[in-house]
Amino acid sequence: MTKADFIELVKSKGGFSSKVETENAIKAFTEAITEVLKNKDSITLVGFGTFYTTEVSQKSGKIRVKMKLILNQPIQHQNLNLVKLLKML
């Protein structure tokens, strides 16, 4: 599904009057989720799932061709748990 298809689907399901209004609603939703995750917090939408972040620790690896050791920096991973939604399918 493309972004345009998704906007059309949300427009028809949500009763929005225009594509611009629908796109603004989707943008507001994603920005709100992003802000919550940047604060290392989680958000649960009952009946849908939970958005949360996890810390991935520093890892090392080797580049075999150059026999060089590399270190990856620790990062924050964004996750979405859809267990409740998938159980209904």
The predicted structure's pLDDT at residue 27: 94
pLDDT in tens, 50-74: 888 888 777 777 666 666 666 666 7
Give the CA dihedral 25, 30, 36, 37, nearest 10 degrees: 180
Whether pTM > 0.75 for this model: the answer is no
Burial class, 49, CB count within 10 angstroms (exposed 0-12 / middle 13-18 / buried 19+)? middle
Range of the domain at 31: 3-88
Q: How many domains are there within the chain?
A: 1
Identify the CATH number of the domain in which residue 24 sits. 4.10.520.10
pLDDT in tens, 77-88: 677 777 655 565
